[in-house]
Structure 1
Amino acid sequence: MRKIANRLKRAQGQLTAVIGAMENGGDCRAVVTQLAAVSSAIDRAGFAIISTALRECITDENSVTDTPTERPDDADGATEAARSGLTIEELEKLFLTLA
């Protein structure tokens, strides 16, 4: 969660700069470019939060790691992500492809 908080703090700084540029009559192209960067940073943070929550939901608390793990097939039909041992980064990439 520390990386996500840092990403959001960077977005906050960018947003402050966008607001300042708008209030001071900054270049429209620069404002839009910075606004797009803020939007992207917030989206990525949101996806990271979602992927972290999903990872925690589909794995046992004792087996949550940042590397793939071997998991036995669950009789109740657990998701493919859980059986394949996807990392948090891999789950985040999957979410980002949906955006």
Structure 2
Amino acid sequence: MVQTTSSQLKNRLRRADGQLQGILKMVDDGRECQDILTQLAAVRSGVERMIGVVVAENVKQCIADDQLSEDQQRDLQTALDLVVKTH
């Protein structure tokens, strides 16, 4: 995995960890279920986005730039951006 992507992934994981720690505190404090579910949904969304980033980076690493034309590279990047956005 490219260093920048690795750093970005670590930052996202730290953020998710912080959110989970906050949820634990919410449970301990007896917060409303709706508030807890909202935060859990935010964590899930963040994790799904991380999955998209990892998949996209893996695909990029499997295909060398010189194997694709510029149009194909652009189309691939558009598709990968969609994967990241929808996960």
TM above 0.5: yes
Counterpart in the other structure of 2:80: 91
Conserved? CA contact 2:16–2:47, under 8 Å: yes
Q: Do structure 1's residue 8 and structure 2's residue 5 form an aligned pair?
A: no
> 2:81, 2:49 → 1: CA distance?
8
Tell which has more relative contact order, 1 or 2 (C-alpha 8 A, sep 6+).
2
Aligned length in residues = 80
Q: Percent identity?
A: 30
Query: What TM-score, normalized to structure 1?
Result: 0.66
Deviation at 1:36, TM superposition (A): 0.2
* TM-score normalised by L of structure 2: 0.74
Alignment-mate amino acid for residue 80 of structure 2: L
Unmatched runs of 5 consecutive residues or more in structure 2: 1-5
Gaps of 5+ in 1: 64-69, 73-81
Larger Rg: 1
1:45 to 50, 56, 78: 50
**Structure 2 CA distance, aligned partners of 1:3 and 1:15?**
18
Give the structure with the larger helix fraction. Answer: 2
